[in-house]
Each structure stands twice: as C-alpha cells, then as structure tokens.
C-alpha cells in the first residue's frame, strides 16, 4: 500500500477510535437517543439529496434502518454512556464473531479451524474482561453485546440484499431511522429540550463529529481504499480501532488499564484477526458497512 493510502487508512482508524470518546462526551450532556436522532437527521440531510435509490430498494432500507440504525446505533450510544470507552469498544467488536456464527447457522457457511479458533479466542476474551473491574454492569454489557449482534444481523442482510452504494445506504438508513429513535427518545427519555438548549460546544461538536467525520468522511475514505486495494489488505487495519480506543480512553478519559483489559482485549482482537483475515479474502468491498 502506498504511503499516502496507508496514512489515509490510519486516519480512518483514528476517526473511528476517537468516535468512541466523542460519543461519551456527547451523551454526558444530551440523552443518547436524542443524540443519535440528531446524528441521523444530519446524515440524512447531507446525503439523501445526492444519493437517490430505486423505489424497490426502499423496503430493504427500511428493514436495515431497524437493525442497523435503531438497534445497533441506538444501543451503542446507550451502552457507551454507561461503559468505559476502551471496554465498550472491545465489546462492540464482538459483532464480527456474532456475524460468523450467524453465517454458519443461517447461511450454512463452513466454519473451518481458523474461524473456530477465532470464535473461541474472542469469547474467551469477553470472559476474561468479565472477571475484571472495568466491565460495566450487566445491563450496559448486555446492551453493547446486543448492539454488536444487531450489527452482525445487518451484515447478513446487506450480503443478501440489493447492491446499494455505501453513501446511499448510510443516508437512507439514517433517514428511516431518524423517526424511530426520535420516538424512542420521546418515550424513554426526559429533559431533551433542556439538554439541547443548554448543551455546550463540546456536545454539539460531538453531534457534528459522529455525523460528518465518522459517518461520511471516514466511510468515504474507507471505501475509496477498498476500491483501490484488495479487501484482505485494508480491512485487517480495523483491528487497530479497539486498540487505539483503549489508548485514547486511558489518555483522555482517565480509564484504568488493568491486566484483565489488556489480556481480555488482546484475546478479542486476536480472535477477530483470525476471523477477519480468513473471511475478508472471500468478500467484496460492498459487503462491509463498518460499525462506528
């Protein structure tokens, strides 16, 4: 990979790792469902007018807005509000093992020894994390793992669904998901208007960052890299995201860095490496949407 493209790939890794920190900053002032509502609304406004889709693709996008938009992202924001940045990032990466299990169970894909080893390492890492003090309470842990499962389900839908450009998919999923999460915010949260009117520039910067930098700029660069290089060369760099998120959590959020997080996180990342490097050689760029 040329040095310029390597720098672009590392920039995307940094954007997505920093996004974990930014989400925590945002949900400290704005309720999580309202924050994701603002993010989706901004993404839809910026993308939908420029990326039209065919009418027959709308039912698929509506379904994906439930699994990928509402379930994955809404639960991600809620869970990160109650978890350390690094630990939350590691738990969300379990979407890849979940996707592998679903592909084996539902699509009858072959598991293979390397992918089996990857699954065992990943789940062993979660068990190690569970024995340490940095794992959040059972409820936010379950929320983050359910978010990862929703991401995994979305990947299978995308694999079986119609071919849609990444930016169109991001824009229209955001459009359909906006009223869903807005309704959830109205039903489950309180003080949204007061939070919005009193939010600091940091909270509004979080909205802009998650919408523009994470959802549009990072994905635009990422899919450009996937277009120019083999998938197996680009996608494994995603393994750096949880590692960098842990580092940023320690530096910026004063998260503790104990042996359980180091060992458990290392096992999760190693297990995902077994799965990703084996699996992505068989995938095309259009079959991956990212999770952050």
Q: How far is the C-alpha of 81 from the C-alpha of 137, rounded, in Å?
A: 12
The pLDDT score that the predictor gives to residue 21 is: 92
> 212: closest CA among 45, 8, 9, 21?
45
The pLDDT score that the predictor gives to residue 63 is: 95
Q: Which residues of 260-288 are buried (b: 16+ CB within 10 A; e: fewer)?
A: bbebbbebbbbbbbbbbebbbeeeebbbb
The pLDDT score that the predictor gives to residue 285 is: 40
Contact criterion met (CB below 8 Å) for 15 and 214: yes
> 174: closest CA among 92, 79, 64?
64
The pLDDT score that the predictor gives to residue 286 is: 40
Q: What are phi and psi of 81, to 5 degrees?
A: -65, -15
Check whether 132 has a pLDDT greater than 80.
no
Check whether 32 has a pLDDT greater than 90.
yes
pTM: predicted TM-score of the whole model, two decimal places: 0.84
Percent of the chain with pLDDT over 70: 91
For the stretch 208-226, pLDDT in tens is 999 999 989 998 898 888 7
For the stretch 269-287, pLDDT in tens is 888 887 777 555 455 444 4
For the stretch 175-215, pLDDT in tens is 999 999 999 999 999 999 999 999 999 999 999 999 999 98
For the stretch 117-131, pLDDT in tens is 888 888 888 877 766
């Amino acid at each position: 990979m040329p040095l310029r493209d390597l720098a672009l790939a590392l920039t995307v890794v940094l954007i997505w790792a920093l996004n974990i920190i930014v989400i925590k900053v945002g949900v400290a002032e704005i309720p999580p469902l309202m924050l994701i509502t603002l993010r989706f609304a901004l993404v839809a406004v910026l993308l939908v007018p420029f990326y039209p889709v065919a009418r027959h693709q709308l039912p698929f996008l509506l379904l994906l807005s439930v699994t990928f938009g509402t379930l994955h992202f809404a639960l991600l924001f809620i869970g990160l509000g109650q978890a350390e940045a690094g630990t939350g990032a590691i738990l969300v990466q379990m979407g890849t093992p979940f996707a592998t299990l679903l592909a084996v169970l539902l699509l009858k894909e072959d598991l293979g020894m390397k992918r089996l080893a990857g699954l065992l390492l990943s789940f062993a890492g979660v068990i190690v994390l569970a024995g340490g003090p940095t794992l959040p309470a059972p409820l936010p842990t379950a929320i983050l793992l359910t978010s990862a499962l929703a991401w995994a389900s979305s990947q299978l839908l995308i694999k079986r669904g119609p071919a849609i450009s990444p930016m169109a998919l991001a824009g229209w999923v955001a459009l359909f998901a906006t009223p869903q999460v807005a309704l959830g915010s109205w039903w489950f949260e309180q003080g949204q208007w007061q939070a919005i009117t009193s939010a600091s520039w940091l909270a509004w910067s979080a909205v802009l960052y998650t919408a523009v930098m994470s959802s549009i700029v990072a994905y635009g660069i990422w899919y450009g890299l996937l277009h120019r290089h083999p998938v197996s060369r680009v996608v494994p760099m995603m393994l750096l995201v949880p590692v960098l998120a842990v580092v940023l959590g320690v530096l910026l959020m004063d998260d503790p860095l104990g042996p359980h997080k180091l060992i458990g996180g290392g096992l999760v990342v190693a297990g995902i490496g077994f799965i990703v490097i084996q699996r992505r050689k068989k995938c095309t760029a259009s079959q991956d949407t990212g999770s952050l």
